[in-house]
Structure 1
């Protein structure tokens, strides 16, 4: 049986925009009147979706809506999504900093949270005093806290300032001490928001290592929010993708990160273009990618020769030098390399052009990739740019069930010529 340590059931959170509190006295009286009659809060039936980029019609907004998930003991759960997706609100509810509008949280054990710089710290108290204060809030005895004190101070790297009021700490020092307190006072559930980004690279590496230790070695549960997808993938086993306050995907961390990074780009192997992809010099018609001799509807296999086709109409009748450049990105958003037809003998001509780039078999490692498109004039001026214009996924179709199913390191998988000489 699953050892469920945390369960969220139908969690929703509604906020009123533009005012502090729940609204007018009339609204409060309405809520009271509905409550004494045993009826549902009438303001739960209204409210806009949590999309910060659009103007809504209601004074109410759903920061979260109908969130359901379970977390097992020892699991590291990544919560990812764009700014404003509801990640921090969810963590505040899970940490019991704020209450949900509807739904309930069921947890077993102590929850320690690191949500914002300075959260839970009293600025007038010293670092040492704040350690004891936070331990007491978690329900620990003075003896238990004292036994962990030296480890906390050493890990934080703030020993020289431990008897100085926290209000004199930098934001980085505050985060260091706060994380050390949260991690070493042995909560059953550790909740960490994006505040680790405030720390330097050395501390971020230490913090991620510590979270791995407490989850894998000590069997404690971690909920982790970050925009650093490399950190999320290295630390988490499962991911939840939030979008506009709703759950879009709950899956293993590879799928969750790939889904999040794909954004609004189409995860298909072809795309036709209309209005918005035309300027005075050219019009982009179509981009597609397929295995040699196959259609773009079929999977892209590692061991196949792969074609990337670009169809465009060149409208400039002058003999200018135009070319196409692509940038290839991996699923972490890191650029792998660029490639272009700039050095080819055949140049783009007036009218419709079909440009084909051929990748050799076993060039790509399995995984998801994104390409950005550049149309360049006279080898120096990109006159049209479209980022993440197409995404595609390479799969390994050769491995049978029961053999090694891991993924080789790296993002390309070239075949080199090998020479064996026996003497």
Structure 2
């Protein structure tokens, strides 16, 4: 039996977080704080395990999906495998050259041009200049940046960064390809192009580790999947079974209301303070989907996109209302903003049943600021669409097509 391309055994990554004592704002408190500071003990440190006791193997030519909620340890796992950060415990062994697409801009030198960064990344992978030159035109064509090839990448948009980074990672033929959810910041056409390329890479016998929130893509592309929860592997197995287990738990938790609002971005400058989602009686006897989102910023900000995701119980994304395609944007916020999504006649567009609601804030086509994939659950009423006496549910599909039937004379 051949050795796996990736072997992870008891992997753990610990970060130490300092906690600052809360202080009041009054002048008396400021003076007291300054006087007593030299006599106080150091800031208390807390251990945070981003990964703990993670074990799995990935065979040659296999595509392994990595799923889980935000903060579950997915990106940390890829950073450890990419040798960006060392593990605290355990081992990770990789056989062969590794190409990785992680955070926007990772692996690029900002002062170098796009052309120079292609050769730099190839050299890091251990390739000769001649080998890189053979694939150079293919990389540029895939990234669609011909006009900007000799411009320093520090002047690139985030979308251009992602296109070039993926093209380099996929075309320089590493034996192992690590791809993070960064693909999601690109436009829909480019996402499909990347997913197609990853499938091609896997069929070529190379190994792929794919982190994604898109359960449909995981089912389609991956042979197996690992579900990370709180830094640990909660489930490892066939991709469909792992996705089903994850979605069952997510649906149950969304019904119980596990989200503790507010949820802010990493900089603690903008966040979602509340979300309410329901299906109410609409016009003409139909149903109306109502999603209300409260957003708060701690400083003036502009062009903040608000997106909504609806997923059915099979993990199929039935609606992705991203700001890049809907232009649902808060043009300026300084304090509170309230966003209202409404869809009249939702039962005419979706088959009845429960749907998981996701919500996010983003800089359109650039990056997610806050993303919560399982924020709430709504129930679309069952309907007898065809007058047959049968109320359609999700086992009958996704969309209640308004089909008519007639027998015509030949």
Residue of structure 2 in register with 1:11 after alignment:
11
In structure 2, do the counterparts of structure 1 residues 325 and 94 end up closer, same or farther at CA, with 3 Å as the change threshold? Answer: same
Cα offsets for 1:371-408 (capped at 9, x unmatched) = 89xxxxxxxxxxxxx94389xxxxxxxxxxxxxxxxx9
- List gaps (5 residues or longer) in structure 2: 20-43, 257-284, 290-309, 320-344, 358-374, 380-394
Displaced runs of 4 or more, over 3 A:
263-267, 323-329, 337-340, 368-372, 386-390, 408-414, 416-423
Residue of structure 2 in register with 1:98 after alignment:
85
In structure 2, do the counterparts of structure 1 residues 167 and 371 end up closer, same or farther at CA, with 3 Å as the change threshold? Answer: closer
Residue of structure 2 in register with 1:222 after alignment:
208
Aligned-pair CA distance for 1:264: 4.5
Partners of 1:243 and 1:199 lie apart in 2 by 26
Residues 362-401 of structure 1 mapped to structure 2, 5 A cutoff: 387-388=376-377
**Superposition RMSD in Å:** 3.7
Residues 57-72 of structure 1 mapped to structure 2, 5 A cutoff: 59-72=46-59
Q: Secondary structure at the match of 2:150?
A: coil
In structure 2, do the counterparts of structure 1 residues 412 and 128 end up closer, same or farther at CA, with 3 Å as the change threshold? Answer: closer
Aligned-pair CA distance for 1:107: 1.6
Residues 88-237 of structure 1 mapped to structure 2, 5 A cutoff: 88-216=75-203, 218-237=204-223
Partners of 1:182 and 1:143 lie apart in 2 by 17
In structure 2, do the counterparts of structure 1 residues 420 and 205 end up closer, same or farther at CA, with 3 Å as the change threshold? Answer: same
Residue of structure 1 in register with 2:234 after alignment:
248
Contact 1:112 1:138 in 2 (8 A): yes
In structure 2, do the counterparts of structure 1 residues 326 and 333 end up closer, same or farther at CA, with 3 Å as the change threshold? Answer: farther
Aligned-pair CA distance for 1:413: 10
Residue of structure 2 in register with 1:359 after alignment:
none
Aligned-pair CA distance for 1:369: 6.1
Residue of structure 2 in register with 1:258 after alignment:
244
Which is helix-richer, 1 or 2?
Answer: 2
- List gaps (5 residues or longer) in structure 1: 20-56, 273-322, 341-362, 373-385, 391-407
Residues 69-84 of structure 1 mapped to structure 2, 5 A cutoff: 69-84=56-71
Using structure 1 for the length normalisation, give the TM-score.
Answer: 0.58
In structure 2, do the counterparts of structure 1 residues 101 and 411 end up closer, same or farther at CA, with 3 Å as the change threshold? Answer: same
Q: Secondary structure at the match of 2:100?
A: strand
In structure 2, do the counterparts of structure 1 residues 332 and 113 end up closer, same or farther at CA, with 3 Å as the change threshold? Answer: same
Cα offsets for 1:235-278 (capped at 9, x unmatched) = 222111111101111121112222222234449xxx99xxxxxx
Q: Secondary structure at the match of 1:232?
A: helix
In structure 2, do the counterparts of structure 1 residues 324 and 387 end up closer, same or farther at CA, with 3 Å as the change threshold? Answer: farther
Cα offsets for 1:37-74 (capped at 9, x unmatched) = xxxxxxxxxxxxxxxxxxxx961111110000010111
Partners of 1:89 and 1:388 lie apart in 2 by 29
Contact 1:153 1:180 in 2 (8 A): yes
Partners of 1:247 and 1:324 lie apart in 2 by 43
Partners of 2:220 and 2:163 lie apart in 1 by 20
Contact 1:15 1:60 in 2 (8 A): yes
Aligned residues: 280
Partners of 1:127 and 1:417 lie apart in 2 by 55
In structure 2, do the counterparts of structure 1 residues 369 and 251 end up closer, same or farther at CA, with 3 Å as the change threshold? Answer: farther
Using structure 2 for the length normalisation, give the TM-score.
Answer: 0.60
Q: Secondary structure at the match of 2:110?
A: coil
Aligned-pair CA distance for 1:206: 0.8
In structure 2, do the counterparts of structure 1 residues 58 and 235 end up closer, same or farther at CA, with 3 Å as the change threshold? Answer: same
Partners of 1:418 and 1:200 lie apart in 2 by 39
Residue of structure 2 in register with 1:319 after alignment:
none
Partners of 1:87 and 1:168 lie apart in 2 by 29
Q: Secondary structure at the match of 1:16?
A: strand
Task: Say if 2:316 is the partner of 1:332.
Answer: yes
Contact 1:326 1:371 in 2 (8 A): no
Q: Secondary structure at the match of 2:61?
A: coil
Q: Secondary structure at the match of 1:160?
A: helix
Partners of 1:156 and 1:339 lie apart in 2 by 40
